[in-house]
Amino acid sequence: MPLEVRVDAIRYLAEDTHAYEFVSRSGIALPTASPGDHVDVHLPNGLVRQYSLWELRPDRYVIAVKRDPASRGGSRFLHEEIRVGTRLLVGEPRNHFSFDLGATHSVFVAGGIGITPIMTMVDHAAANGMSWELHYATRSNHTGFTEALARHGDRVRFWGSRTASQPLDIAALIGSSDPAAHFYCCGPESMIAAFREAAQAIPEERVRFERFGAMPVESNHNGFTVVLARSGRAVPVPPGTTILDALLAEGLDLPFSCQQGVCGQCETKVLAGAPDHHDQILTDDERASGETMMICCSGSKEGRLVLDL
Ligand code: FES
C-alpha cells in the first residue's frame, strides 16, 4: 500500500534540480530505506514515477528531481505544481541497484543526475569505513551535487567539468582497477553502454548499473498472440501495442507502474515462448533464462507466448 506523505521541504540542489522531502502524514514511522533505493511517487495528475533517494534519513524520504525538458508530466509536474504542504502517496522503498556491503572495494561511476542513486551508497560507504572511489562526470563545477560530494575529499574525482576538462575513460578506469572490486554505474545511455562493455570480463554479480531515464519503450512491430495459461484465453497483441496494453484492454487487472521497463511491477512469469526483452531491470542471465519478462515494454520473438496469468 502506498504511504501517505506531505511535502515538508523543497530545496534547490543544482540547476533545474530540486530535493523534495516527504514526511509521514499520520506520524507512523516510514519504512527504513537502504543505499540505492528508489520510491514510486504517485502524482496528483495520475502519473506514477520512480525517483532515487538522495539522502537516507530516518524521519523522511528525500528525492532529487531534475526537470527534464522532454518531461511527459513527471518532473515537470513536480517542479511546477508541487509545493511545501502538498499531500502525496509514495511507495515503500525498493531496489534494483543493490549495494554490496561486503565488497573489499567499490568503484562508482556516475554522470550528471545519475549521481542520485549513488549518493546514498557513497554516504553509506563513507559512514561505515568502507573502501571506495567515485568518478563523477559533470559539465558544471558548481552544483549542489559537487558541493555535497566535496565532503568526501579526494575519494571523489570529477571529470569533464570546466576545471577538470579531461573526459572520463571508463575502459581505462575499469582496466586499471582492483579486479576484485565491485563496480557501479548510473548515467546517460552512452555512459552505461561504455561501462557495460568495459566490464564484460567481470563477473555479473560485481557489476551493477541503473539508468536514470527510461529507454524509449520498444514497439512491437509484427504482432503476436499471448495465451493466458490459467484460463487458456488467447489475446492478440497487434503491431505497435504492448502486452500490458492489450491485456488491460481485455479487462485484466494487472500490477504496473512506470510502463517503461524500469520499475519491475509488471514482471510476469513466462511458461512458453521466447520473450523479446526491452526492460532495464533483468540481468543478462535472467534474460537468457526467459523465465520472466516485463510485459509493459517487452515483446515476443515468436508468434505465441504463454504467460502465467
Ligand atoms: S510497469 Fe514498470 S517495468 Fe513494467
Confidence at residue 300, expressed as pLDDT on a 0 to 100 scale: 92
Confidence of residue 214 (pLDDT cuts 50, 70, 90): very low
Q: How far is the CA of 295 from the centre of ligand 1 (A)?
A: 7
Which ranges in the chain are annotated with CATH 2.40.30.10? 3-90
Q: Are 235 and 247 in contact (CB under 8 A)?
A: yes
Residue 161 has pLDDT above 90, yes or no: no
- Taking only the tens place, the pLDDT of each residue in 50-98 is 899 999 999 999 999 988 776 667 888 899 999 999 999 999 998 888 8
Which cell numbers in the block locate residue 43?
Answer: 502524482
- Taking only the tens place, the pLDDT of each residue in 234-247 is 999 988 788 998 99
* Residue of 163 and 269 predicted with greater confidence: 269
- CA neighbours closer than 13 Å in the CB half-sphere of residue 149: 27
Please tell me if the CB atom of residue 265 comes closer than 6 angstroms to any atom of ligand 1.
yes
Please tell me if the CB atom of residue 122 comes closer than 6 angstroms to any atom of ligand 1.
no
Residues above pLDDT 70, as percent of the chain: 93
Which cell numbers in the block locate residue 91?
Answer: 511507495
Please tell me if the CB atom of residue 138 comes closer than 6 angstroms to any atom of ligand 1.
no
Please tell me if the CB atom of residue 54 comes closer than 6 angstroms to any atom of ligand 1.
no
Hunting for cell 539508468 — which residue is that?
Answer: 211
Confidence of residue 113 (pLDDT cuts 50, 70, 90): confident
Arithmetic mean of pLDDT, 293-308: 92
Q: What atom in ligand 1 is closest to the CA of residue 263? A: 2
Hunting for cell 561504455 — which residue is that?
Answer: 194
Question: Which class is 3-90 in CATH?
Answer: mainly beta
Confidence at residue 279, expressed as pLDDT on a 0 to 100 scale: 84
Residue 22 has pLDDT above 90, yes or no: yes
Spatial distance between the Cα atoms of 283 and 203, rounded to a whole number of angstroms = 12
Confidence at residue 142, expressed as pLDDT on a 0 to 100 scale: 57
Which ranges in the chain are annotated with CATH 3.40.50.80? 106-211
Pairing of strands 132-137, 106-111: parallel
Spatial distance between the Cα atoms of 292 and 286, rounded to a whole number of angstroms = 8
Q: How far is the CA of 186 from the centre of ligand 1 (A)?
A: 19
* Residue of 109 and 50 predicted with greater confidence: 109
Spatial distance between the Cα atoms of 78 and 98, rounded to a whole number of angstroms = 26
Claim: this prediction has a pTM higher than 0.85: no
At the topology level, CATH places domain 224-307 in: Ubiquitin-like (UB roll) (3.10.20)
Of the listed ranges 8-17, 132-141, 148-157, 196-205, the least confidently predicted one is 132-141
Which cell numbers in the block locate residue 62?
Answer: 528525500
Q: What atom in ligand 1 is closest to the CA of residue 262? A: 3
Arithmetic mean of pLDDT, 16-36: 93
Q: Which residues contact 122 (CB under 8 A, 6 or more apart)?
A: 108, 132, 134, 149, 152, 155, 156
Tell me which residue of 238, 265, 236, 14 sits closest to 119, measured CA to CA. 14
Which cell numbers in the block locate residue 118?
Answer: 549513488
Q: How far is the CA of 261 from the centre of ligand 1 (A)?
A: 4
Which ranges in the chain are annotated with CATH 3.10.20.30? 224-307
Tell me which residue has its CA closest to atom 3 in ligand 1: 261
Question: Which class is 106-211 in CATH?
Answer: alpha beta
Which cell numbers in the block locate residue 14?
Answer: 543544482
Q: How far is the CA of 256 from the centre of ligand 1 (A)?
A: 5
Spatial distance between the Cα atoms of 59 and 74, rounded to a whole number of angstroms = 24
Q: Which residues contact 159 (CB under 8 A, 6 or more apart)?
A: 135, 136, 137, 138, 166, 167, 168
HEC string of 129-177 equals CCCEEEEEECCCCCCHHHHHHHCCHHHEEEECCCCCCCCCCHHHHHHCC
Q: How far is the CA of 298 from the centre of ligand 1 (A)?
A: 10
